[in-house]
């Protein structure tokens, strides 16, 4: 986190070392200006941020937004910027002061977590479908392609999602040491009564 300050009397900006580094500069090596500030805004957001900056400069309004900045090396940082007006000893508007918070790492971690959760969910769905295909392959002597085709057709005809139908097939075959006649009969009944099963809660 770093701080900034805008001084309206001579239209200049001040950055803390941390904010300078967010923009890719060594501390004390650059004097921030409005033009420099805007050159670092992400192209997709520059028009909106330009209007916001002008509003703050002219009216001294409080501001707060999440935006992207592009540092001198081309890296994109996701930052939260919060600012509030400050007033001089005469009570006149002096400028705006506030802070930047770089949340890039947090956002990337959140994205990675969401991607991992999505991948795990897809893997779980695939796993139960593969298990159901295995049941059908053993029961009817099918290969993998034929087992999936049968599962897909049953899903379409019964208006039950493939995953839900697969879960029910696996549930019927579960709890037995082998796919005995009772188990195959149960699966067979399920396949032939898929439409009625679709009316039951999936749990």
The answer on 113 and 21 residing in a single domain is no
Q: Is 184's pLDDT higher than 70?
A: no
| 96 DSSP β-pair partners | 6, 85
Q: For 30-45, what is each residue's pLDDT tens digit?
A: 889 888 988 898 888 8
Residue 42 · residue 70 · CB < 8 Å: yes
Residue 108: per-residue pLDDT: 66
Closest CA to 149 of 138, 139, 160, 162: 162
pTM listed for this prediction: 0.52
- Domain limit, last residue, from 35, 70, 102: 102
Cα distances from 115 to residues 78, 106, 112, 128, in angstroms, run 19, 14, 5, 20
Question: Is 72 a domain residue?
Answer: yes
Domains contained in the chain, number: 2
The answer on 189 and 131 residing in a single domain is yes
> HEC states along 28-67?
CCCCCCHHHHHHCECCCCHHHHHHHHHHHHHHCCCEEEEE
- Domain limit, last residue, from 41, 69, 102: 102
Cα 93 from Cα 86, distance rounded (Å) = 6
- Domain hosting 152: range is 109-197
Cα 44 from Cα 108, distance rounded (Å) = 19
- Domain limit, last residue, from 102, 130, 164: 102
Question: Is 159 a domain residue?
Answer: yes
The answer on 125 and 92 residing in a single domain is no
Question: Is 203 a domain residue?
Answer: no
Residue 175: per-residue pLDDT: 57
């Amino acid at each position: 986190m770093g701080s900034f300050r805008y001084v309206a009397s001579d239209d200049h900006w001040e950055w803390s070392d941390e904010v300078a580094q967010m923009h890719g500069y060594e501390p004390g090596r650059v004097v921030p200006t409005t033009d420099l500030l805007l050159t670092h805004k992400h192209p997709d957001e520059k028009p909106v941020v330009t209007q916001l900056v002008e509003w703050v400069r002219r009216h001294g309004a409080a501001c707060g937004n999440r935006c992207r900045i592009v540092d001198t090396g081309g890296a994109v940082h996701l930052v939260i910027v919060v600012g509030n007006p400050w007033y001089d000893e005469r009570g006149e508007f002096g400028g705006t002061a506030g802070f930047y918070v770089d949340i890039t790492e947090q956002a990337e971690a959140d994205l990675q977590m969401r991607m991992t959760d999505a991948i795990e969910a897809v893997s779980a769905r695939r796993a139960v479908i593969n298990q159901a295909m295995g049941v059908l392959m053993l029961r009817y002597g099918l290969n993998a392609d034929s087992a999936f085709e049968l599962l897909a057709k049953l899903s379409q005809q019964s208006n039950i999602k493939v995953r839900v139908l697969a879960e029910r097939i696996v549930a019927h075959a579960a709890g037995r040491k082998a796919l005995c006649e009772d188990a195959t009969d149960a699966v067979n009944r399920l396949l032939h009564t898929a439409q009625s099963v679709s009316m039951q809660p999936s749990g």
